[in-house]
């Protein structure tokens, strides 16, 4: 009989389904996607590694900033336009 292992935050089991979902935090640097996504079940977030194909604006607390985005993260961008590759 197999022993039951209780999943923990660092067990590698994504029981909350957060891996790959958008994490809080944004990043505005040319050539990198502006969103952070969860990389593992313990809640560590990192840069979205999808290729950048869009450029638009996002309103920060200090005003509007240009941001770059992949195809999946364009929903909140204002005036998004496809970049020329």
5 has pLDDT over 70? no
Average pLDDT of every residue of the chain: 78
Indicate the domain borders of the chain. Answer: 22-82
Alpha carbon distance 69, 15 (integer Å):
28
- Distance, CA of 3 to CA of 11 (rounded, Å): 15
Rounded to whole angstroms, the Cα distance separating 84 from 11 reads: 42
Per the model's pLDDT, the better-predicted residue between 78 and 10 turns out to be 78
Name the pTM for this structure. 0.66
**Alpha helices (runs of H) in the chain, residue ranges in sequence order:** none
């Amino acid at each position: 009989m197999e022993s039951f292992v209780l999943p923990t935050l660092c067990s590698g089991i994504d029981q909350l389904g957060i891996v790959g979902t958008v994490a809080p935090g944004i990043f505005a640097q040319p050539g990198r996607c502006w969103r952070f996504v969860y990389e593992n079940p313990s809640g560590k977030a990192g840069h979205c590694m999808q290729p950048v194909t869009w450029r638009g604006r996002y309103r920060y607390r200090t005003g509007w900033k240009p941001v770059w985005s992949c195809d999946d993260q364009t929903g909140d961008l204002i005036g998004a336009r496809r970049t020329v590759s």
